[in-house]
């Protein structure tokens, strides 16, 4: 039996990159998984691979009603909800604020905050009633940019700092029924982390920029992590072995936080 045998999870942004790796590991550990994602082709690929163990929900994390529909569909299909994992995000690929055109600044900020902050907030709001019934958990994916400047653009960095506050507040408000934690990953080689439409960056991702070497150079372990190295911490936080963990920020980044982006001043250029 797996460590999540019979557990039911909602994963937002589970169609690619880190989210998809978490989906695969949760299924391998015996979980039943609902995936909310905006890409129909990626959702279809998940159901082709994992069959009835995955419920694909096409939707937009920026809308509360899509999260509510995902939770309702999961409970109808699987009977319960034990955990929520948030992974959906976007990142503006500009190193400095003065590289963002002033006439695009407001729309770019609104777009990034809608995905990176509202997407997590709405997921937590939609999932809370069902998670409270199971003494469940929420695990949100943040970033070293939630603690240090210099690796990403200012809007992404702001959104991830806001996520830190969100995790702390939710952990406080949702206790004792629901535990809330965050994972702080490093580089993700399979990431499809896109840029905002407002800046014309929807076709850009970490994969297209091919910065694995830069990420490896700035990481104390001196290598790019593999996608499959990230899910174990999510399994732990979603399982019954972590009943004391709430309000925690779990660095799973190859030591990237030790240097605080000190070697990455020009990464976003």
The catalytic residues are 156
Distances (CA, A) of 171 to 61, 107, 129, 246, 248: 21, 30, 15, 6, 9
CB 185 within 8 A of CB 18: yes
* SS3 at position 36: strand
Q: How far apart are the first and last CA of the chain?
A: 47
> Which parts of 22-108 are beta strand (E)?
32-37, 54-58, 83-86
Closest listed residue to residue 125, CA positions, set 54, 60, 173, 157: 173
User: What's the CA gap between 149 and 69, in Å, rounded?
Assistant: 36
In the Cβ-directed half-sphere of 16, how many Cα atoms lie within 13 Å? 17
């Amino acid at each position: 039996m797996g460590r999540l045998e019979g557990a039911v999870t909602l994963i937002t942004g589970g169609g690619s990159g880190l989210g998809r790796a978490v989906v695969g590991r949760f299924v391998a550990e015996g979980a039943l998984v609902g995936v909310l994602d905006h890409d129909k082709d990626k959702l279809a690929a998940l159901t082709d691979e994992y069959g009835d163990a995955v419920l694909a929900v096409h939707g937009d994390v920026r809308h509360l009603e899509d999260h509510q529909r995902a939770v309702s569909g999961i409970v109808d299909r699987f009977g319960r909800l034990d955990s929520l994992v948030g992974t959906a995000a976007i990142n503006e690929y500009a190193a400095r604020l003065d590289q963002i055109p002033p006439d695009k600044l407001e729309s770019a900020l609104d777009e990034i905050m809608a995905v990176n902050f509202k997407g997590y907030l709405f997921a937590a709001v939609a999932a809370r009633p069902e998670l409270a019934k199971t003494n469940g958990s929420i695990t949100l994916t943040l970033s070293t940019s939630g603690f240090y400047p210099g690796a990403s653009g200012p809007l992404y960095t702001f959104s991830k700092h806001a996520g830190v506050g969100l995790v702390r507040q939710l952990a406080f408000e949702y206790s004792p029924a629901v535990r809330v934690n965050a994972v702080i990953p490093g580089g993700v080689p399979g990431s499809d982390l896109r840029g905002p439409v407002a800046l014309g960056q929807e076709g850009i991702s970490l994969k297209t920029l091919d910065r694995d070497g830069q990420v490896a150079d700035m990481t104390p372990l001196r290598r790019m992590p593999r996608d499959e190295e990230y899910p174990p911490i999510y399994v732990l936080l979603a399982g019954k072995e972590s009943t004391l963990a709430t309000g925690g920020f779990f660095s799973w980044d190859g030591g990237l936080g030790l240097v605080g982006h000190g070697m990455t001043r020009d990464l976003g250029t």
